[in-house]
Structure 1
Amino acid sequence: MSGTASLLLAIFFLVLYVVVWSLCLLGWRTARIRYAHPNLPSRLTSLSSTSAPGVTIIRPLCGLDQNLYNTLESCMMLDYPKYEVIFAVQDENDEALPVVRMVMDKYPTVKSRVIIDNTRVGVNPKVNNLLRPFQEASYDLLWVLDSTISVTSGTLGRSVEAFLSNHDVRKPPISGEVGLVHQVPIAIVYQKTWGSLIEQAYLNTTHAKMYLAINAVAVDSCVVGKSNLYSRSNIAELTTPSPTLRNLPNPPSGLAGYSPFLAEDNMIGLGLWHQLNLKHAMTSDVACDFLGALTVKDYIDRRVRWLRVRKKMTPIIATLLEPFTESIVAGLYGSWAIQRLLGASIPALFMVNIAIWLLVDLSTRKALETNIRNIKPPSSTGVFVLAWLARECLALPIWLLAMTSDVVVWRGRRYKIVSSGEAMRLDDEK
């Protein structure tokens, strides 16, 4: 019985190992095909301002984020004929405002304005910050860009082109059409602390590969909110996924219905996908995410936080299988399965697994950085490999730590993530 059981277990692990490697290679292949070449300009850039679809860019801000001036400036230099920029803050004394004024003064020909509004409808400060800009935007097409994100000049044109690929510009998309365009986030590090370097290694390899692979398979929504283009009319149609809000006499719809969730971006993507049957698209652009000077503890805390949020928003089997998608754990069970079935040296198989995994990740990173070489600072491959090794070694301990609690700390506030994915504030409102 023990021999039969180990044989069946070896077959299971070998199948799982093949599936994990298939996803890794799919993400790598997507990166090589989509990003490892110079971007072509969008045909929309040659249109007049009267012919091009208008876009409202919304930058929700809170304080002095990393490289803020340059990230905000990037949306003032877009090669696109018709857009406006709204800078949104909730406090008239927000430290971001002087930076915003400098950027606006430098580009007086770009239609831009500031909205200051302290409306609160839920625990998510980003949703609170976006509510009034959503209402006052001049155009139905909204491009929400996080404050740490910088983009290249052609990104908007290519995004709008992808959004309008199969429907009329005069109406919001309907079932079966593209309803959201997003970009894969790529970390840029100027302050090279070990925490920021490890975070960069994670985002530019493991996260990017899985993000691209899941979106390539397209069996479900997989979206982060760093850079999202969608229709305000579509967002207004969404009903809230929050059980708490649905129990109210008049539950909010649209954006306000996502205020109980810290990962509102993912929930909105799911809403567009499942409620409205709208597809998602990606362009050949990346969203450059500027990281600050993180400590290793900062990195661990960030990963633990989003793991605890994500485990309440995905099927339990996905959470339980997550460690098995990492290089070290996969190398261990894959090597054992191959040895059990075919006979080979487990240490040799494990080292080959790690070596090939690293080469695939380095190739993915290189492809994704093709069009941003003038943005990113010089980097050392040796230092990157050390940060990558640290990331791989920390993956399992971080997952185990994330499983021990449902409490997260975000922007200095404590929340408990409940089974619906909603966040409940634990400390007092101020």
Structure 2
Amino acid sequence: MLDLLTLRLKYPMIYTVYGFAIFFFVFWCGIWIVHLIALFYGKYRLHRKVKPLSTDEPYPGVSILKPLMGTDPHLVSNLETFFTMTYPMYEILFCVEDEKDPAVDVVNALIAKYPKTPSRVFLGGSTVGVNPKINNINKAYEASSYDLILISDSGIRMKEDTLLDMVTHLTETTGIVHQMPFTSDRNGFAAILEKVYFGTAQSRMYLGADFLGVNCHTGMSTLMRKPVLEERGGLKMFGCYLAEDFFIAKAFLDKGWKTAISSQPALQNSGICDVNSFQARLTRWAKLRVAMLPIVIFFEPLSECMVIGACAAWAASLLFRWEPLVFYLIHVLVWFLCDWMLLSIVQNGSLPFKRFDFIIGWLFRECSGPYLFLLALCHPEIKWRNRVFKLTWGGIAQEVKPRIKC
């Protein structure tokens, strides 16, 4: 015992190095547990057959809030899927901040085409905070007719039974049901890159977090109970955050409500699909995560395949005298195979591209991920459409040179 104490005092750096090695190896093992959870939970949870609600109770009404700004080649087809859903009782409330926005004509044409679907257009928005999305939809939220609110981004595409699927997952103890982000099938390398990211790295963390009960709420397609929001003062109370979805879910969890993902992933189908725009989204999301949870500055890079693989290879060579290069190559290969299986589960069918395309997209995503995170740390200001924001710790946002002044 005395010899160990003497060694520790004499060689403190040795204990520090071994401590880091043990930490990296344990963290690496934990990441593989998340891989297994995502694979098995994804197989169990996703793409389950939708069961109709009990005939003894009427279907609850749903108010769908659709924030819009501008048009793209897919906007008409995306919005039309909301008019053709088989759910028996819902209304669509379109929200457009500028009355001269070309999206207004698109919406009016669809309303005329589907007169039997209750729908309205809200123009002008309201200034209740710095969050443009909350400002845009707050009027419609306050005028909504039903106790269930579905906030759905303009680029989301629905299946006929998607809303029914979400409502069936809204149990007595569940306050929020949200769709796991994914993408529609599209052509081009950017579309491959998006599908690879959302079907692997994003799905792995999303499924793992939902299984463990961790707040992973993404607000691109989310169904929630309006009375619970009203207890907090309504949707406008979250206008001070850019990541309003995270803080809305936190408010529900603090009240004892559960959140859950539906079995159908959200099908993003924006007409804007290029690598630069996609990487800008990833960088913006990273900035939001850092501001909300500063601990991710250290832990998020370690969740990347190439980074944790290198750290674990060094740790294994130090702790077990394993060959680091062989360890690293096996790590990357097994990670790659797990991602292929997870993407196939999320896709629920054959992929719309060849395996070689997946290899190129996967390598590009995995190698660029750490760089984008570093870029987010170096440039913390957030650009969102034509506005610029800065965040304080805790996620509260301030607009730089506000476009709308109170």
Instruction: Work out whether 1:210 is the aligned partner of 2:205.
Output: yes
1:173-209 per-residue CA deviation (whole Å, 9 max, x = no partner) reads: xxxx2110111010235252x4443333212210111
Compute the displacement of 1:65 (Å).
4.1
Compute the displacement of 1:411 (Å).
0.5
Instruction: Work out whether 1:58 is the aligned partner of 2:62.
Output: no
Q: Residue 125 of structure 2 contacts residue 137 of structure 2 at CA under 8 Å; is this kept in 1?
A: no
Instruction: Work out whether 1:400 is the aligned partner of 2:396.
Output: no
User: Which stretch of the first structure deviates more once superposed, 223-232 or 284-293?
Assistant: 284-293
- The equivalent position to 2:225 in structure 1, one of 221, 227, 231, is 231
1:282-305 per-residue CA deviation (whole Å, 9 max, x = no partner) reads: 221111011444443333322222
2:378 counterpart SS class: coil
Compute the displacement of 1:428 (Å).
4.2
Q: Where does structure 1 lack aligned partners over 5 or more consecutive residues?
A: 167-176, 239-252
Compute the displacement of 1:118 (Å).
2.9
Instruction: Give the Cα separation in 2 of the matches to 1:184 and 1:92.
Output: 32
1:127-174 per-residue CA deviation (whole Å, 9 max, x = no partner) reads: 0111111111111111111111112222211221221x23xxxxxxxx
Write the mapping of 1:17-416 to structure 2, written as runs, cut at 5 A. Answer: 17-35=28-46, 39-44=48-53, 47=55, 51-65=58-72, 67-163=74-170, 165-166=171-172, 177-188=173-184, 190-192=186-188, 194-218=189-213, 220-238=214-232, 253-274=233-254, 276-314=255-293, 316-370=294-348, 378-416=352-390
1:7 counterpart SS class: helix
Call closer, same or farther: CA 1:230–1:66 in 2, change over 3 Å.
farther
Call closer, same or farther: CA 1:121–1:191 in 2, change over 3 Å.
farther
Instruction: Give the Cα separation in 2 of the matches to 1:367 and 1:132.
Output: 39
Instruction: Give the Cα separation in 1 of the matches to 2:226 and 2:174.
Output: 14
Letter in 1 for 2:225: S
2:403 maps to 429
Instruction: Give the Cα separation in 2 of the matches to 1:298 and 1:146.
Output: 17
Letter in 1 for 2:247: M
> What is the TM-score with the length of structure 2 in the denominator?
0.91
Instruction: Give the Cα separation in 1 of the matches to 2:376 and 2:388.
Output: 15
1:222-276 per-residue CA deviation (whole Å, 9 max, x = no partner) reads: 20001111111111112xxxxxxxxxxxxxx3211111211111111111111x2
Letter in 2 for 1:181: V
Call closer, same or farther: CA 1:87–1:74 in 2, change over 3 Å.
same
Instruction: Give the Cα separation in 2 of the matches to 1:65 and 1:145.
Output: 16
1:78-102 per-residue CA deviation (whole Å, 9 max, x = no partner) reads: 2222112111112222111222223
Q: Residue 192 of structure 2 contacts residue 353 of structure 2 at CA under 8 Å; is this kept in 1?
A: no
Letter in 2 for 1:359: L
Task: Give the CA RMSD over aligned residues.
Answer: 2.1
Instruction: Give the Cα separation in 2 of the matches to 1:61 and 1:24.
Output: 36
Q: Residue 189 of structure 1 contacts residue 291 of structure 1 at CA under 8 Å; is this kept in 2?
A: no
Q: Where does structure 2 lack aligned partners over 5 or more consecutive residues?
A: 1-10
Instruction: Give the Cα separation in 1 of the matches to 2:346 and 2:111.
Output: 30
2:7 maps to none
2:264 counterpart SS class: strand
Letter in 2 for 1:13: F
Compute the displacement of 1:325 (Å).
0.6
Instruction: Give the Cα separation in 2 of the matches to 1:16 and 1:413.
Output: 38
Instruction: Give the Cα separation in 1 of the matches to 2:328 and 2:270.
Output: 32
Q: Residue 406 of structure 1 contacts residue 418 of structure 1 at CA under 8 Å; is this kept in 2?
A: no
Instruction: Give the Cα separation in 2 of the matches to 1:112 and 1:293.
Output: 26
Identity %: 30
Compute the displacement of 1:7 (Å).
2.9
> What is the TM-score with the length of structure 1 in the denominator?
0.86
